[in-house]
Structure 1
Amino acid sequence: MVHLLQDWWQHQTWLEITGVITGLICVYLAAKNNIWNWPIAMISVTIYIFIFFETHLFADMGLQVYFFVVNLYGWYYWANKPASEKKTPVARITRVELLISAGAIVVFTYILGTILKYTTASFPYLDSFCTACSLVAQVFLARKVIENWLIWIFVDVIYVGVYLYKDLHLTAVMYAIYVGIAIMGYVDWRKNWNEAAPQPPEGEAEVKL
């Protein structure tokens, strides 16, 4: 058993190890509503641009470039909080945002998957679907929409299987941990939302949905 672990460890690269460590740190800080998640996330996604290029996960590689740009936006958005707030308040998804996001995911998956089908990309449609979900989730994270964590939980479970198949074992472990952190993030952000939500006037019953 020890020999197997040593052999497995020797096949890991420092690039992936660094990407995993910075990835875990940034997601944990995001779940804890800490603005420093953004600069650390920029380091992690830069590393994974190179990792995904080497493993022919081209949709994921392009996704990291997108993440880098949105990380800059998220850092700016979180830093420009209302003067009356210690932190930028969390928000809930609207019905319009939900419909637009679902439609965008379907269209993006079909277009990108069809393009990648004619390349050496692995899992063109599945990879494109996960990429589309991640695009939406990252925007919601930057805008502090609580439901971003539900999307991440769903897509990270899929990514665990993909990365195990591609022998990116550390990355698969990282995404499995992401699932737990995303659950924690959803619970914490929902608690923050409930605490900040206007309370009903005294004597009126609160309507539970």
Structure 2
Amino acid sequence: MDFFSTQNILVHIPLGVGGYDLSWIEAVGTVAGLLCIWLASLEKIINYFFGLINVTLFAVIFFQIQLYASLLLQLFFFVANVYGWYAWSRQNEAQEAELKIRWLPLPKALGWGAVCVIAIALMTFWIDPVFAFLTRSAVGIMQGLGLQVVMPQLQPDAFPFWDSSMMVLSIVAMILMTRKYVENWLLWVVINVISVMIFARQGVYAMSLEYAILTLIALNGSRLWIKSAREHGSHALSS
């Protein structure tokens, strides 16, 4: 069984026009992603193990379907998962986790908010050339490694603003999660709701359902982390 091939179908899901063929690699990657988010909401460090499985398998998928810019984004998430695992595992002299769940201090929150607004605005107008550049870079890197890849035909983005919002907010949310800031879950809720709407509009109902589940997990994560932040004094100063 060629597990890593997107042509190796696990099940046909009768949703939308023609249904959706779910491959083994996508199924395992998706389950790993769901476990990652669920365990992160419970503040379990093992979430990063499943996160690494998720981004690795999705990078393989994006390679096969020639979404090279998305592949590079998975590499960023891979590094972020490794860093998050390290940051969450650090302990203080009392053998307690050094990082505590807390809210962003107001100056940092305003700073991250400004970064998001500016980055989304820029990406909305430049998303096609940015992804073309990332794709060319990925193709060049892989060709340099001896892989037989060609530059795919790129189409204009169907939803420039929403795609830009998801990309920017996902990067920021991942960074905030590695530092145990509550706001990461609020961003994931926004990201997942946008994803549900876009995938439903595109007729990819299986993906829309997946992100609906992720939205529920993110809402639960918000509830649990807000409660924990209150117990820890919420605005404790730390980097």
Q: Distance in 2 between matches of 1:144 and 1:73?
A: 12
1:120 has 2:155 as partner: yes
Q: Distance in 2 between matches of 1:78 and 1:108?
A: 27
Change (3 A) 1:65 1:195: same
Q: Distance in 1 between matches of 2:181 and 2:124?
A: 27
Over residues 85-129 of structure 1, what are the superposed CA-to-partner deviations in whole Å (9 max), with x where a residue is unaligned?
543311211122222212212232233333333552532332111
Aligned match for 1:22, one of 32, 38, 41:
32
Change (3 A) 1:143 1:153: same
Aligned match for 2:79, one of 69, 85, 100:
69
Aligned match for 2:89, one of 79, 84, 96:
79
Does the Cα contact within 8 Å between 1:42 and 1:68 map onto a contact in 2?
A: yes
Q: Distance in 1 between matches of 2:163 and 2:68?
A: 9
TM-score when normalising by structure 1: 0.80
Aligned match for 1:163, one of 199, 202, 205:
199
Change (3 A) 1:58 1:169: farther
Mapping of 1:75-154 within 5 angstroms?
75-84=85-94, 86-87=96-97, 88-118=99-129, 119-122=154-157, 123-154=159-190
- Stretch deviating more after TM superposition (19-28 or 121-130): 121-130
Does the Cα contact within 8 Å between 2:186 and 2:222 map onto a contact in 1?
A: yes
Change (3 A) 1:165 1:81: farther
Between Structure 1 and Structure 2, how many residues are aligned?
195
Q: Secondary structure in 2 aligned to 1:12?
A: strand
Q: Secondary structure in 1 aligned to 2:103?
A: coil
TM-score when normalising by structure 2: 0.71
Does the Cα contact within 8 Å between 2:13 and 2:22 map onto a contact in 1?
A: no
Shift of 1:15: 2.2
What's 2:210 paired with? Answer: 174
Shift of 1:70: 0.8
Over residues 37-71 of structure 1, what are the superposed CA-to-partner deviations in whole Å (9 max), with x where a residue is unaligned?
01210111122234456667666544322211111
1:40 has 2:40 as partner: no
Does the Cα contact within 8 Å between 2:186 and 2:218 map onto a contact in 1?
A: yes
Shift of 1:151: 0.8
Change (3 A) 1:52 1:156: farther
Does the Cα contact within 8 Å between 1:46 and 1:64 map onto a contact in 2?
A: yes
Amino acid at match of 1:116: I
Does the Cα contact within 8 Å between 1:164 and 1:172 map onto a contact in 2?
A: yes
- Stretch deviating more after TM superposition (27-36 or 50-59): 50-59
Amino acid at match of 2:86: Y
Does the Cα contact within 8 Å between 1:59 and 1:131 map onto a contact in 2?
A: no
Q: Distance in 2 between matches of 1:109 and 1:148?
A: 17
Amino acid at match of 1:179: T
Q: Distance in 1 between matches of 2:214 and 2:28?
A: 16
Change (3 A) 1:59 1:66: same
- Stretch deviating more after TM superposition (48-57 or 117-126): 48-57
